[in-house]
Amino acid sequence: MIPVQLPAAVSDLIARLNSAGYSAYAVGGCVRDSLLGLTPHDWDLCTSALPEDMLRVFADERVAETGLKHGTLTVIRDHIPYEITTFRVDGAYTDHRHPDSVSFVSDVAEDLSRRDFTINAMAFSPDTGLTDLFGGREDLEAGIIRCVGEPCLRFEEDALRILRALRFASVYDFAIDPATDEAARKLAPTLQNVAAERIREELLKLLCGRGAGRMLRAYPDILGVIIPEILPMVGYDQQNHHHSWDLWEHTVRALEGVPPEPDLRLTMLLHDTGKPEVRTTDAKGEGHYKGHQQASARIAEKVTASLRLDNASRDRVIRLVENHDIPLRTVTGETNLDRTFLLRRLNRFGEKDLRALFLIHRADRIATGYSPPEREDARLKERMDALDALLAEQPCYTLKDLAVNGRDLMAAGLRGKAVGDALQRLLEEVMDGRTDNTKEALLNRLSSLN
Ligand code: ATP
Ligand code: MG
């Protein structure tokens, strides 16, 4: 395993606390990630100093006191925040959300024992080296997620830990220890009591992890507590000769086939959720799913609201779900027809979402089991290349690219709704290659539009 190397600022903060007579350590995620050879995205510290002691020790530093009640002082050095938290144990979690109280303690061992998993319960300081009381290092080496202490008790204290177990297993591609696994499944229904914001954070990380597909296959029961809308897909036979797998396996494969970005992964998780409700069966026994895109989009609306996803991501996911299999022919961008098609798609979706739709198509088609990945990769490349080539010309595909604006049209005598309508028609003229995007050509064209 890789030794922990503290950034200079962290060693210094620890040294300052030590010279004032307190013990202090780097703790949790940063120790875990260091041992894995990954670069920690932040450094958390824990200390025997009480909040008022820390305020005194760091009186000359830039600090934020927002978490002080729970024992956390944030020291800011070179614009980087370092959270330093007094050793503490948590009181009962009667509402399954927050500890009723926290009490400060003097021993790092007690602080480590309140933490969720062995791999997250290690502390490090330059003087003492690694403090690993629960076999965290061994579990890191073996790739195991295991609760600190008795799994059922730990999940009863805070049900979010159930989802966190799946999240860490996904992100590091680890296994979940059998006793932890069993407790997680047993107590999964209590996840219903956890605040949506906390769930969302863990779920999105889970969906973007290397082991996401494995977690979805192994734990639809747990994920179904958070998103019951996925449950009808599990084991659902599509009765369709374009599909090799049941709907859940198709969904999992489609999800694994898009880049690990939250919006895209969530889109694939939900893209076919509407299928079971719209299914019809023809005389030959073949299943059809007309309108499933809209049905899935309605489900996506509900699910993204229940997860309290931010509005931008929410709108995006709903739109991508609704349009996940919109026709995108293989185009070269060379003929006028190709240009027009691409420009109209750009106009409707914008560059970012159009590229996302290319990726979604590829993943969705490979996940049917009937389209060879090589063919879909080649098709994706063709589409991306055509789009790159077209965009390099800086073509006009939005109203703001148009060489005339509303003021120009008003000067030409149009009023009210007619202005917007005319701008839209002129934009279409330009995208379709019938008119040049110059003021002169457009104003000329205007007179013959009506
Ligand atoms: P990440 O890399 O995603 O930040 P992390 O392990 O740092 O992972 P955080 O949520 O930032 O996760 O929490 C920091 C530390 O606090 C954890 O490593 C763990 O020791 C402890 N912790 C966090 N959430 C819980 C929880 N719900 N129950 C018990 N301990 C927790
Ligand atoms: Mg962290």
pLDDT digits (tens, 9 = 90+) for 160-202: 999 999 999 999 999 999 999 999 999 999 999 999 999 999 9
Q: What's the confidence (pLDDT) of residue 244? A: 85
Encode pLDDT of 11-38 as tens digits: 999 999 999 999 999 999 999 999 999 9
Encoded tokens for 305: 């609201």
Q: What's the confidence (pLDDT) of residue 2? A: 79
Q: Is 86 helix (H, G, I), strand (E, B) or coil?
A: strand
What residue spans of 172-291 are helical by DSSP H? Answer: 178-187, 196-207, 212-218, 220-226, 247-256, 262-270, 275-278
pLDDT exceeds 90 at position 97:
no
Among the bound ligands, the one closest to the CA of 27: 1
- What mean pLDDT is reported for the chain? 94
Q: What's the confidence (pLDDT) of residue 95? A: 67
Distance CA 141, CA 137 (A): 6
Encoded tokens for 106: 């003097």
CATH class of 8-142: alpha beta
Closest Cα to atom 21, ligand 1: which residue? 115
Distance CA 407, CA 414 (A): 9
CATH class of 399-449: mainly alpha
Q: What's the confidence (pLDDT) of residue 101? A: 80
Domains of the chain, by residue range, sit at 8-142, 150-226, 336-392, 399-449
Q: What is the pTM of this model?
A: 0.93
Start-to-end CA span in the chain (Å): 75
Residue 100: pLDDT band (50, 70, 90) is confident
For residues 220 and 229, is the Cβ–Cβ distance under 8 A? no
What is the position in ligand 1's atom list of the atom closest to the CA of 44?
14
Higher pLDDT: 352 or 90? It is 352
Residue 449: pLDDT band (50, 70, 90) is confident
Encode pLDDT of 287-329 as tens digits: 999 999 999 999 999 999 999 999 999 999 999 999 999 988 7
How far away, in angstroms, is 338 Cα from ligand 1 center?
A: 50
Residue 337: pLDDT band (50, 70, 90) is low
Among the bound ligands, the one closest to the CA of 202: 1
In testing the pocket of ligand 1, which one of 42, 120, 168 has its CB within 8 Å of the most ligand atoms? 120
Higher pLDDT: 446 or 184? It is 184
Residues 204, 207, 210, 212: is their CA dihedral positive or negative?
positive
Average pLDDT over residues 276-285: 94
Q: What's the confidence (pLDDT) of residue 51? A: 96
Residue 96: pLDDT band (50, 70, 90) is low
Q: What is the DSSP letter of 291?
A: T
State the number of CA atoms in the 13 A half-sphere of 124 facing the CB.
24
Any ligand 1 atom below 6 A from CB of 158: yes
pLDDT exceeds 90 at position 142:
yes
Q: What is the secondary structure of 95-163 as a DSSP string?
A: TSSS-S-EEE-S-HHHHHHTSSBGGG-EEEETTTEEEESS-HHHHHHHTEE-BSS-HHHHHHH-THHHH
Q: What's the confidence (pLDDT) of residue 240? A: 87
Average pLDDT over residues 387-391: 93
pLDDT exceeds 70 at position 331:
no
Any ligand 1 atom below 6 A from CB of 29: yes
Distance CA 107, CA 189 (A): 34
Contacts of 326 (CB under 8 A, 6+ apart): 357
How far away, in angstroms, is 124 Cα from ligand 2 center?
A: 15
150-226 under CATH 3.40.1740.10, yes or no = no
